[in-house]
Amino acid sequence: MKVTMLLCDHAQIADHKLFINGAGWNMCGTPTPPHAIAVLVSVPWDQTNVRFDYQLQLVHEDGRVVTQPGPAGSAPVGAAGSFEVGRPSGVRPGTAIAVPLVINVAPLPLDPDTGFEWRLLIAGITQEGWSLPFRTLR
């Protein structure tokens, strides 16, 4: 699968398309502003009609998954879900099908002057380019 990801101020899906505002940043203050991760997954023809679970993890520059306190104790920061795309009628066999995903993120109290990365896993696997590095400012 090919994946394109962008950090942005706001994103939403309408009519199977991504609508993105304020995209392409990689530095922010802390706590982070509310933001979104816009993802476009290009699903190969032979992987259509298959359900895929995905997970988005926030990873600290030292490699550990970032956790935040919650009602049930400390929990990893991220999101999870699934997607499945069918083969639209009239589409030529072999055509990849685009699947847009948006993950909205509330403000996060992260350490200042530190590197982080939003990392996407699909079916438990990540690949080069399936991440969004950013840095918090002092």
Predicted TM-score of the model (pTM): 0.93
SS3 at position 57: strand
Main-chain phi, psi angles of 38, to 5 degrees = -95, 130
Q: Tokens for 92?
A: 């030529």
Residue whose structure tokens are 């879900």: 81
Tokens of 8: 């942005």
What are the tens digits of pLDDT across the range 33-55? 999 999 999 999 999 999 999 99
Is residue 37 within 8 Å of 81, Cβ to Cβ? no
For residue 121, the model assigns a pLDDT of 98
Q: What is the pLDDT of residues 83-121, one digit of tens each?
A: 999 999 999 999 999 999 999 999 999 999 999 999 999
pLDDT of 57 over the 90 cut: yes
pLDDT of residue 79: 97
Sheet of 131-136, strand order: 27-28, 131-136, 115-122, 52-60, 78-83
Q: Which residues make Cβ contacts (< 8 Å) with residue 15, sequence separation at least 6?
A: none
Mean of the pLDDT values across residues 43-72?
Answer: 96
What is the residue-averaged pLDDT of the chain?
A: 96
Contact by Cβ (8 Å): 122, 41: yes
- Average of per-residue pLDDT across 62-75: 93
Residue 45 DSSP symbol: G
Q: How many residues does the chain have?
A: 138
Give the pLDDT band of residue 70 (cuts 50, 70, 90): confident
Whether 126 shows a pLDDT value over 90: the answer reads yes
Interatomic CA distance for residues 129 and 4, integer angstroms = 8
Q: What is the pLDDT of residue 127?
A: 97
3-class SS of residue 25? coil
**% of the chain with per-residue pLDDT over 70:** 100
Domains of the chain by start residue, with CATH: 2-136 (2.60.40)
Phi and psi of 35, rounded to 5°?
-150, 180
